[in-house]
Amino acid sequence: MRFLGILFFLFISVGVFGQKIRFNSSIGSSLISWHESQATLDLAAGISFQNPGKKHKIFVELKTMGNVSGSPINRSQYTFIEPPVNPRNQPISPSEELVAQYRGGQAEAGISWSSHNKISLIPSLSFYSKSIARKISSARSEYIEEEKYSLHGISAGIGIFIPGKTSLSFQAKIFEPLYEEVTLYGRYVGVPYQSLVSDKLPNYKLRADVNHGQFGLRLIVEVLNLGGAENPNSKSIQASQAIIPSTLLTYFF
């Protein structure tokens, strides 16, 4: 709902100031190296508003990531809440294979500055929201538990834009989460356990764009530093790091 409000505000701005609107859609893939390594199929879309003759641009970008296949879990490095033993629930064997499935998404809305006619720096400032989740199930497709992170904050970056028939741009961004929450769901967890992460750490992104006409290629490497959460009555979640290289093929309308 927040981003729908932002979009509404931006459309009003277009009507008042006569800005140029440009849409784009993308498809690509990521390799999430978190507790396991897993490929995802990514879909993305964006819209930008720029007044002709002005250097600043307002943009909104959305992206979703869904797993292509599951990844086996190293049982020696993973513990879960054991099911109660009864005729309907049997203990999960220590040798039984467990599978992880990743998914996630992100939204970003902000402003950047650059010149289209010469080599120039690209400073940017934006509001940023990201989620990433890890679902655990057994080889029999029995759902066990899931941990989901939600991060919301401010992103700032700097880069360089090189114009031409084929334009190039390179950017480095830092994302400072103002609010970070982790939620533990599970078949045997009971009520979903939510906890705010107290040790919020900065996250980083490197991005390169190659655009020619209506087509573009985007390469991204993102480093997420995810905080832990202590819960003496359930299961504690340890701090972790996810490194996510990704590629997007883009079409500009």
Domain ranges of the chain: 27-40+66-73+97-252
pLDDT classification of 4: cutoffs 50, 70, 90: very low
Mean pLDDT of 153-170: 95
pLDDT above 90 coverage of the chain, percent:
56
- What tokens does 238 get? 């340890």
Q: Choose the most confident range, by mean pLDDT, from 70-74, 220-224, 234-238.
A: 220-224
Q: Kindly state the helix (H) or strand (E) to which residue 102 belongs, with its residue range.
A: strand 98-113
pLDDT classification of 189: cutoffs 50, 70, 90: low
Predicted local confidence at residue 84, as pLDDT = 64
Predicted local confidence at residue 1, as pLDDT = 46
Rounded to two decimals, the pTM is: 0.85
- What tokens does 45 get? 């879309």
Report the alpha-carbon distance of residue 77 to residue 100 in Å, rounded. Answer: 13
pLDDT classification of 85: cutoffs 50, 70, 90: low
Which candidate, 80, 11, 82, 5, places its Cα nearest to that of 47? Answer: 11
pLDDT classification of 235: cutoffs 50, 70, 90: confident
- What tokens does 95 get? 């040798």
- What tokens does 115 get? 């010149």
Predicted local confidence at residue 222, as pLDDT = 97
* Residue 91 pLDDT > 70: no
* Residue 64 pLDDT > 70: yes
27-40+66-73+97-252: CATH number: 2.40.128
Chain mean position to CA 244: 9
- Hey, which residues does 26 pair with through a beta bridge? 44, 250
Q: Are 108 and 129 in contact (CB under 8 A)?
A: yes
Report the alpha-carbon distance of residue 213 to residue 43 in Å, rounded. Answer: 21
Predicted local confidence at residue 155, as pLDDT = 97
| 3-state SS assignment for residue 21 | strand
pLDDT classification of 194: cutoffs 50, 70, 90: confident
* Residue 132 pLDDT > 90: yes
Condensed to tens digits (0 to 9), the pLDDT of residues 33-60 reads 999 999 999 999 999 998 887 888 999 9
Report the alpha-carbon distance of residue 95 to residue 29 in Å, rounded. Answer: 32
